[in-house]
Amino acid sequence: MGTTTTLPPLAAVKHLHYRGKLPLSITTVVICTLAFIGLMYSETISPFTSKLKSCSKRDSVTSRSGKSHGADSDRDGDKSGYDPEMDDRFEFDPEECSVVSGKWVFNSSYEPPYTDRSCPYLDWQVSCVKNGRPDSDYQRWQWQPDDCLLPPFNPAEALKKLRGKRLMFVGDSLQRGQWQSFVCLVEFIIPENQKSMKRGRAHSVFKAKEYNATIEFYWSPFLVESNSDLRIVGDPKKRILKVDSILKHAKHWTGVDILVFNSYVWWMSGLRIKSLWGSFANGAEGYEELDLPVAYRIGLKTWANWVDSTINPNETRVFFTTMSPTHMRSADWNHKDGIKCSNETKPVMKKNHWGTGSDKRIMKVVSSVVGKMKVPVTFINITQLSEYRIDGHSSIYTETGGKLLTDEQKADPLHHADCIHWCLPGVPDTWNQILYAHL
């Protein structure tokens, strides 16, 4: 919980901010991306529609969903006057329901199961209320997929599913947030003497003793090796990635039952990535600057090859959390006078809103590399649902270098608002609700 663990993400904040100062190149990327989305659209729609069709096989579904669902959706209908079509939604079945398409529904009577005071394992970085965030509506939005019901996170059930198992989150500070969210979602039902937490620089382990289960986090922001893993290199231009080397990290991932990976935001610190591969006699001097999506593809491919050659899918389940969007440009959601995500208290309501903080090229690389893998990888596709949540970030209610922002810093959100990380409780709880539904 000390400074070491909070430094890396802050470094990332700075770079993204830095990146925000390169409007021209970014705009080009965005325009190209948008053009590309336009092209893709007709393609992505069709498989989706067929999925929707298979989703609405009501016969197979009603028998499974039983009475509780009927009651729930009736209540939904009564309370908020939903479209009657909503009643067609069925109980979650990971094979049939996509959670990607849906909407955030506000529920003023919903209280998150933990707070940043009740859960002792949250970093200051994400403890927004403790850090002075005055509004709390952002905690009361629930994700409602269009064609099914996402089951609520049940801590006892989650722990049962983890009995005798190791669950490990691997990746960057966003992944660390998801890990802390998961721990907080279950820890309050475990008696004090039945749980423990060991925080390390790279590897942290929460233990639920009576379940013989662990919920772990392993820090490797690029998945592959770099010169900026544990000792963060502040200047992104000085970072060098060994795009074909992963064992130094991956040796810590063997023997884990459920692996949840991510890697995105650290790649976004510039347009090109200094990449190194093979064994060069001239060492770090031998790098090549590769375009970001190219370097990302090689790095992810290295990860995919490790998974395919090491993981036995009968013993280990592999998940991949897609890009966590950043909200650095309020113009993305037509808030011209806004300052980054600061002061946002409501999600974007425009269906399919997509800003400049989620790089479609990276999503495409992920789909393509994972699509060719032998070992099945389940996506926790959080990008679209999180894109809406401009209100969910730590913003100025965070810390820097181990200290809370000063009033002076808080008054300057342009330079100090963190629009990358998420408040907890908050949006990452929904990511874990999706993970839970797949366990």
Q: What is the greatest pairwise CA distance in the chain?
A: 71
Residue 415 is a catalytic residue: no
Is 351 a binding residue for ligand NAG by CB under 6 A? The answer is no
Is 233 a binding residue for ligand NAG by CB under 6 A? The answer is no
Stretch that binds ligand NAG, among 12-20, 121-129, 163-171, 192-200 (CB under 6 A): 163-171
Residue 330 is a catalytic residue: no
Is 212 a binding residue for ligand NAG by CB under 6 A? The answer is yes
Q: Where are the alpha helices (DSSP H) in 284-401?
A: 292-310, 360-371, 383-387
Q: Which is nearer to ligand NAG, 46 or 279 (CB)?
A: 46
Residue 418 is a catalytic residue: yes
Least separation in angstroms between CB 150 and ligand NAG: 11
Burial of 140 (0-12, 13-18, 19+ CB in 10 A): middle
213's tokens: 């289960």
Stretch that binds ligand NAG, among 159-167, 199-207, 265-273, 294-302 (CB under 6 A): 159-167
CA contacts within 13 A on the Cβ side of 79:
11
Which listed residue (314, 336, 401, 408) binds ligand NAG by CB under 6 A? 314
255's tokens: 């023997």
Is 242 a binding residue for ligand NAG by CB under 6 A? The answer is no
* Chain-centroid distance, C-alpha 240: 24
Stretch that binds ligand NAG, among 85-93, 104-112, 113-121, 297-305 (CB under 6 A): 104-112
Is 397 a binding residue for ligand NAG by CB under 6 A? The answer is no
Give the C-alpha separation, 160 to 269, whole Å: 40
Nearest to 104 by CA among 147, 140, 157: 140
* Chain-centroid distance, C-alpha 358: 12
Is 329 a binding residue for ligand NAG by CB under 6 A? The answer is no
If binding means CB under 6 A, how many residues of this protein chain bind ligand NAG? 25
Which listed residue (56, 76, 157, 161) binds ligand NAG by CB under 6 A? 76
Measured at the CA of 216, the angle between CA 298 and CA 297, to 5 degrees, comes to 10
Is 322 a binding residue for ligand NAG by CB under 6 A? The answer is yes
The secondary element (H helix, E strand) that includes residue 104 is strand 102-106
Instruction: Please pick, among 147, 359, 391, 418, the residue that the annotation labels catalytic.
Output: 418
Is 280 a binding residue for ligand NAG by CB under 6 A? The answer is no
Give the C-alpha separation, 174 to 154, whole Å: 22
Q: Which is nearer to ligand NAG, 217 or 277 (CB)?
A: 217
Centre a 10 Å sphere on the Cβ of residue 309 and count the other Cβ atoms it contains: 9
Stretch that binds ligand NAG, among 125-133, 239-247, 277-285, 375-383 (CB under 6 A): 375-383
Instruction: Please pick, among 98, 173, 181, 386, the residue that the annotation labels catalytic.
Output: 173
225's tokens: 């090796």
Pairing of β 166-171 and β 148-149: unpaired
Give the C-alpha separation, 76 to 373, whole Å: 40
355's tokens: 């800003």
Q: Which is nearer to ligand NAG, 162 or 232 (CB)?
A: 162
Stretch that binds ligand NAG, among 118-126, 161-169, 181-189, 296-304 (CB under 6 A): 161-169
Residues at the interface with ligand NAG (CB under 6 A): 44, 76, 79, 100, 107, 109-110, 164-166, 212, 312, 314, 322, 339, 342-343, 363, 366-367, 379, 381, 383-384, 413
Q: Which residues are catalytic?
A: 173, 418, 421
